[in-house]
Structure 1
Amino acid sequence: MPNSAFGKMGFKKADVISLCRTMAELDFSDSLHKVSCPVLLICGEKDTANKKTSKELCQYLNNACFHELAKTGHEANIEAPEELAIVLQRFYDNIR
């Protein structure tokens, strides 16, 4: 197994899968209202893996905003780096 991706990192695949299952059961929704810092959640329009959950997370956070990058999937930093940089800069400028 040392030649597998997990093995090269020093992990057994079964242990990683077990950890992921345990993490999937975590629920911090009752504590999210305590987060006081500004939060920016960004997803691509075509990011079907994360968009719904990101929008839901935004509702739990008191000081959060959601931004959807048009015509972009899961890898916004690769697919639309310029637009992503503009959104991030605007966010940083507004929290100073």
Structure 2
Amino acid sequence: MTASHDSAQTVVFLHGIGVGPESWDAQVAALPEGFTGIAPRLAGLRDGEPSFSVERASTAVLALLDEQGVERAHLCGLSLGAVVATRVAIDHPDRVASVLLSSGQVHPNPVLMKLQNAIIRLLPTRLAAPEGMNKTTMLSILRSLATLDLRPELGQITAPTLVLCGAKDAPNLAAARTLAAGIQNAELQIVPGAGHEWNTRLPTEFSTRLNTFLETISS
């Protein structure tokens, strides 16, 4: 499989909470000629794995690149995947060719995070976590995000960056603006009619914006 990446630029797609790598199928299939896609499952979201942390998930992304023989990759992350992509771009700028961040976060409201954590603890698993995820894993995600504050480090991202957010994704609009303002030369696009996981609801629109970005920075 490593050989397939020798002549193509690699895009690593990182998914959000409650979905898996298959949520990127449309975008992987629609990549422009000369690009190939990898959509791994974020580390720490499956039963039996160590508890989730942004740092552990970002380390797993680097391990994947090493395994595939990819020196530098384009990162495309949505929601939790965008947080992990941001962490990778901060810590390993030499391994990142570009970054697309959709519906990401930089510093979730700590009061709201504590409230959400308390509610999740009281709920049964079938209501506390998305299908396929247990409550313990969901709580580990919340713990990791509760202490998240990427704002002081955003200036360390050197790769071309496109920040996207659905116009209907109200909880993440402020974070999108913070990301775009904190990352040097980042472009911000607010997408009319789009919500949170709009890569699956508006797959053609998402692919169009992603592919235009990739082709522009690679030309």
Q: Which runs of no fewer than 5 residues in structure 2 stay unpaired?
A: 1-46, 48-124
What is the CA-CA distance between 1:88 and the residue it aligns to? Answer: 0.6
The equivalent of 2:165 in structure 1 is 43
The secondary structure found in structure 1 opposite 2:171 is coil
The equivalent of 1:92 in structure 2 is 214
What is the CA-CA distance between 1:59 and the residue it aligns to? Answer: 0.4
Does 2:154 match 1:32? yes
Output the amino acid matched with 1:91. Answer: F
Q: Percent identity?
A: 30
The equivalent of 1:21 in structure 2 is 143
The equivalent of 1:74 in structure 2 is 196
What is the CA-CA distance between 1:54 and the residue it aligns to? Answer: 1.0
Residues 36-93 of structure 1: CA deviation (Å, up to 9, x unaligned): 0011111111011212211111100003111121111112112221111111111001
Does 2:190 match 1:52? no
Output the amino acid matched with 2:208. Answer: I
Aligned pairs, number: 91
Deviating beyond 3 angstroms after TM superposition, the runs of 4 or more aligned structure 1 residues are none
The secondary structure found in structure 2 opposite 1:49 is helix
Distance in 1 of aligned mates of 2:203 and 2:141: 32
The 1:42/1:19 distance shift into structure 2, 3 A limit, reads: closer
Backbone CA RMSD of aligned residues: 2.4
- With normalisation by structure 1, the TM-score equals 0.75
The secondary structure found in structure 2 opposite 1:30 is helix
